[in-house]
Amino acid sequence: EVISEKEKQLVIFRLSKMPANKKISIGSEGQFNKDELIQHVENEDAVGKKIVEIQMAFLRAMKSGTLYA
């Protein structure tokens, strides 16, 4: 799916709060630190879209009270 500008900016803002000394492994896509993840979201590539998908799914579940469903 196409990422909306609103989602993109929200995820970039949330990624900006990620500790700089941590990395996230996304399977065979690779391992990424905060700056790399922000760049991938900016580029809207496969890694960027995956991060947006995860974060938006989490936020939707939190908003609807279904985190533990």
Q: Residues interacting with other proteins, by CB under 8 A? A: 14, 17-19, 21-31, 33, 50, 54-55, 57-58, 61, 67-68
Per the listing, tokens 């985190």 go with: 67
Report the distance separating Cα 9 and Cα 49, nearest Å.
13
Helix, strand or coil for residue 18?
Answer: coil
Nearer to other proteins, 33 or 39 (CB): 33
User: Which two three-digit tokens encode residue 48?
Assistant: 């960027």
- Residue 63 CB, nearest distance to other proteins (Å)? 13
Supply the minimum distance, in Å, between the C-beta of residue 31 and other proteins. Answer: 5
